[in-house]
Amino acid sequence: MADKTVTRSHLTEAVYQEVGLSRNESADLVEAILEEISSTLSGGEPVKISSFGSFGVRMKGERVGRNPKTGEEVTITPRRVIVFRPSHVLKNRINGNLGGTPGPAL
């Protein structure tokens, strides 16, 4: 535990085991789903997956940052970023397993 990285191939394998599709087609579907989410977000539309979480798109204005290596000041251009808000179901599940009961909502 805590030293494994799950990748596309694990998701493909899970889909292959769960539904009676070939490994190739399972891989294509995993890709198609990630692509559908990516293109929706790229179009500025949020994606809400119940009992998992939601992905939103937020605009960040221009700001002055610093190159951590050189210490040089640089202007960071305005950009769009994705914010992921995990659902309570997912948060509770993670805390149920990793210790630390879901504390009082503060």
Count of chain residues binding another protein (CB under 8 A): 60
Among 27, 48, 61, 66, binds another protein (CB under 8 A): 48
Residue 70 CB, nearest approach to another protein (Å)? 22
The neighbour count for residue 92, using CB atoms within 10 Å, is: 13
Which residues partner with 79 through β-bridges? 60
User: Minimal distance in Å, beta carbon 13 to another protein?
Assistant: 9
d(CA 106, CA 103): 8
**CA 93, chain centre distance (Å):** 17
CA distances from 63 to 19, 47, 77 (A): 48, 27, 7
Q: Does residue 22 bind another protein (CB under 8 A)?
A: no
- By the rule CB under 8 A, 32 interacts with another protein: yes
Q: Does residue 74 bind another protein (CB under 8 A)?
A: no
Q: Answer yes or no: are the C-beta atoms of 53 and 87 closer than 8 Å.
A: yes
In the complex, the residues that contact another protein under the rule CB under 8 A are 1-8, 10-11, 14-15, 18-19, 21, 26, 29-30, 32-34, 36-42, 45-53, 55, 57, 79-82, 84, 86, 90-91, 93-104, 106
